[in-house]
Amino acid sequence: MAARLAEEWFAICGGCEVTILDIGEPLLDLLEKVQIVHMPVLMDHKLYGQTGEKTEMEIPEAEVGLISGGIRSDEHKRLAQEMRRKCKTLIALGSCACYGGIPALANLSSTEELLTKVYRESVTTDKNGFPHEDIPALTDRVYAVSEVVKVDMILPGCPTTPEMVAGALTALLEGRPFTLSTKSVCDECPTIREKKAVSTLRRRLEPPTFTPGAPLNQMRCFMEQGFLCNGPATRSGCGGSEGTPRCIRAYMPCEGCFGPLSEKANPMVDMMGALSTIGLDPKQIPDRAATFNRFSGAGRLRPVPKR
Amino acid sequence: MSETELCEAQATGESGGEGWEPLILTFCCYWCAYTGADLAGTSRLQYPTNIRILRVQCSGMVHPNLVIEALTKGADGVLMLGCHPGDCHYLEGNLRARSRAEAISLMLEDFGLEPERFRLEWVSASEGPRFAQVVTEMVEQVRQLGPSPYRS
């Protein structure tokens, strides 16, 4: 019997759903093994019955549940709880579900400030009241799914990688364990590191120094070239079977989308340590909290006190 | 310092209320500062007992996350002592410590801590009196600041 699969999306762009599609040919094999019972992005399955006749929200029972996106409203919270009740294994798909992702940068401001900015202070907006009819209330901040319900597996990445999604689902269906890498991006990065910066901090738009066509192991580390690279504080695994991290392969410094190496890690402290160690000036980082927690703001970022 | 020691410190009435005594974690490098502390001891110099010395091989191996962790888990202050610039046994470990200290000072603000709770000083192996003086100053300074907000 095919395993039933339910999927929900919360505060997210939809990129992680595209990743599922991006699995390519292996997806065909995978689809034979699963039966999708609920997936708002793909199919018309309504929460309160197809004609809205039910009073309680209902998601069909499933063996595997996928949740993408962080939790931003009461509705997301209730949906996450319903998913947890109905799914045997719950997977957080993508960095938004795992760590809050980009939407969690909003945790730097209070909900009140956000609403005022968007609906009252923005010059291009008619100054109306806050929308409140027929929409769920916002939560006080963006939460990672694991902060609201128990999550059995996380698949980080922005978006996460097709290889990882396919690998995790296949492992789950075959009853094999699936584990994430516990190494950092630097551990899998082939560039040359000499523990000393050769430049002051540079903007990302400037080109790094490398010989086109030459292998990456002849190129100097991005951080040592003065580019902020989140590699030291980021979990590896984005390179998949190829090993070399995705952004590095494209001659770009790591953005940090795979999130911190452990639940307790504080990427800001690790990164400030890493960059001052090689001699870059920590004072030049304009917004260290947001820069180094770009994908892991849920539970790590909070409103900045006014000075 | 181990968590057990911190717990002990808290259990013996040092947890911030009445009878609070500052608790300062001190990283001493093996080659200079720790020998300096030793000298202060053998010379019978007096200094407050509020410090707990942790010997490290070089001040350059004290990463900011160790300092931040100490301060957010119960220490009222952190003192980092190394060789004078140019005297490092590992050539430039102390210079590395200096640039890290800058990052640490910046981050204390993010954690809601006063910058005075962290201090980096150079103490050579022959500077026993200086060790005693730095420790006395630091303890006094932290005593004035009061218990760390993370101690409760």
Over residues B123-149, the pLDDT tens digits come to 999 999 999 999 999 999 999 999 999
What pLDDT score does B13 carry? 47
Q: Are A20 and A28 in contact (CB under 8 A)?
A: no
Domain spanning A3-104+133-173, CATH architecture: 3-Layer(aba) Sandwich (3.40)
What residue of B is the nearest CA neighbor of A196? Answer: B96
Sign of the torsion angle spanned by Cα atoms B21, B27, B30, B33: negative
What pLDDT score does A227 carry? 95
Give yes or no for B99 touching A (CB within 8 A).
yes
- Whether the predicted model's global pTM rises above the 0.80 cut: yes
* Cβ-nearest to B102 among A268, A276, A289: A276
In whole angstroms, what is the distance from residue A287 CA to residue A289 CA?
A: 6
Give yes or no for B102 touching A (CB within 8 A).
yes
Alpha-carbon A188 to chain mean position: 20
Give yes or no for B115 touching A (CB within 8 A).
no
Return the bridge partners of A138, or none: A73
Return the bridge partners of B53, or none: B26
Beta carbons of A283 and B106 less than 8 Å apart:
yes
- What is each CA distance from A305 to A42, A282, B102, B108, in whole angstroms? 42, 21, 22, 14
Interface test with B, best of A269, A278, A306, A307 (most B CBs within 10 A): A269
Give yes or no for B132 touching A (CB within 8 A).
no
Q: Are B151 and B74 in contact (CB under 8 A)?
A: yes
Q: Are A65 and A3 in contact (CB under 8 A)?
A: no
**Complex confidence, ipTM:** 0.84
Tokens of A293: 């927690």
Which residues of chain A approach chain B closer than 8 Å at the C-beta?
Answer: 266, 268-270, 272-273, 275-277, 279, 281-283, 288-289
Neighbours of A67 (CB within 10 A): 32
Give yes or no for B63 touching A (CB within 8 A).
yes
Give yes or no for B126 touching A (CB within 8 A).
no
Q: Which helix (H) or strand (E) holds B102?
A: helix B93-110
Beta carbons of A277 and B107 less than 8 Å apart:
no
One digit per residue, the tens of pLDDT, for chain A of length 307 reads 789 999 999 999 999 999 999 999 999 999 999 999 999 999 888 889 889 898 888 999 999 999 999 999 999 999 999 999 999 999 999 999 999 999 999 999 999 999 998 888 888 888 778 888 889 999 999 999 999 999 999 999 999 999 999 999 999 999 999 999 999 999 999 999 998 999 899 998 999 999 999 999 999 999 999 999 999 999 999 999 988 999 999 999 999 999 999 988 999 999 999 999 999 999 999 889 999 999 999 988 988 766 4
Q: How far is B42 from chain A (nearest CA, A)?
A: 35
What pLDDT score does A167 carry? 94
What pLDDT score does A256 carry? 95
In chain A, which residues fall in CATH 3.40.50.700?
3-104+133-173
Task: Label each residue of A232-276 as H, E or C.
Answer: HHCECCCCHHHCCCHHHHCCCCCCCCCCCCCCCCCHHHHHHHHHH
| Residue burial A11-38, b: 16+ Cβ < 10 Å; e: rest | bbbebbbebbebbeeebeebeeebebbb
